[in-house]
Amino acid sequence: MTTLVTHTWWMTNRRLKVLVKQPAFVLILLIQPAIWLFLFGNLFRKVVELPGFGGGSYLDYIIPGVVAMTAVSSNMWSGMGVLEEIERGTLNRLLTTPVARGAIMNSLVLEQALSTAVQVGAIILLGLLAGASYPGGAVGLIVMLLAALLLGTIFSALSNTVGMLARQRETIIGINTLLLLPLTFLSSAFMASTLMPAWMRRIAEFNPVNWSLDAARAAMRSEPDWGVVASRGGWLLILAVVMLVLSTRTFRAYQKSV
């Protein structure tokens, strides 16, 4: 276990060094959430006046939605990193070294998790500057971050799996395009579930994006509902573990094919 952790950190550090050498990409990572926050925040701000929405500040409502959307959209591209490693021959060279095999896949997920954490921090700060309130305090914000990281892990592991199996950028792009908006709008990211059609509410019950939102909003209330946090967080954790196991098995299959 110690070896796996050490190798995972070494591999993650290697990937982070590559990331920071791309300042334009890092800048985009920070600007993108700001665009979504203020774009959607201004576009839909009047919906709080609809009967049944519940009132309150739409900015407060939308922040968990932007966090969830950011976690999904950022981590969906993790498979591109796998493809780059394969095409450059780096992955095959790593397989000839003593590095723990699990560390290779873990580093891909951990890199995305760290990027997501930075983006969530930026969204929280931007929300504060815009006048958002966080009744749940630091604990609520930590729960929102953890829920986003679990959600990101699910889609990062899924993307890595697709990258290993398909080995084509077009496939990853197609799946991302297919899933991102439906998963977002089949959730309460930007609209209260009470105003959604019944069939959409039913689908949202099985949507991991909505689990993340439920957990975050339940924790960020002035009186948190820890039962909802535990149940939705538990589902996210189970699905994240399943996806990590799947990506690891796919990697082992790739290892045997080279």
Task: Categorize the per-residue pLDDT at 256 as very low, low, confident or very high, splitting at 50, 70 and 90.
Answer: low
The verdict on residue 145 lying in a domain is: yes
Taking each helix axis from N to C end, the angle separating 78-88 and 169-185, rounded to the nearest 10 degrees, works out to 170
Tell me the CB-side half-sphere exposure of residue 161, using CA atoms within 13 A. 17
Question: In terms of DSSP H, where are the helices of 167-225?
Answer: 169-185, 198-204, 208-219
pLDDT at position 258: 62
pLDDT tens, residue by residue, 103-159 = 777 787 888 888 899 899 989 999 998 889 999 999 999 999 999 999 999 999 999
pLDDT at position 26: 65
Is the separation of the CB atoms in 247 and 164 below 8 Å? yes
Q: What is the pTM of this model?
A: 0.90
The verdict on residue 17 lying in a domain is: no
The verdict on residue 69 lying in a domain is: yes
Tell me the percentage of the chain whose pLDDT exceeds 90. Answer: 41
pLDDT at position 137: 94
pLDDT at position 218: 96
- Please tell me the total count of domains within the chain: 1
pLDDT over 90 at 3, yes or no: no
The verdict on residue 18 lying in a domain is: no
The verdict on residue 90 lying in a domain is: yes
**DSSP 8-state secondary structure symbol assigned to residue 45:** G
The verdict on residue 103 lying in a domain is: yes
Q: What is d(CA 53, CA 40) in angstroms, rounded to the nearest whole number?
A: 16
* Among 175, 189, 163, CA closest to 108: 163
pLDDT tens, residue by residue, 60-99 = 999 999 999 999 988 998 888 888 877 778 777 877 777 7
pLDDT tens, residue by residue, 8-20 = 877 788 777 766 6
Helix (H) or strand (E) holding 161: helix 137-166
131 in the Ramachandran plot: left (φ > 0), alpha (ψ -120 to 50) or beta? left
The verdict on residue 77 lying in a domain is: yes
pLDDT at position 65: 94
Residue 211 tokens, joined: 């689990």
Full domain range(s) for residue 49: 2-10+24-257
- Residue 233, amino acid: G
The verdict on residue 19 lying in a domain is: no
pLDDT at position 66: 93
Q: Which of 46-55, 211-220, 222-231, 249-258 has the lowest mean pLDDT?
A: 249-258
Q: What is d(CA 194, CA 189) in angstroms, rounded to the nearest whole number?
A: 12
Average pLDDT for residues 16-39, to the nearest whole number?
Answer: 75
Q: What is d(CA 53, CA 225) in angstroms, rounded to the nearest whole number?
A: 19
Average pLDDT of the residues of the chain: 87
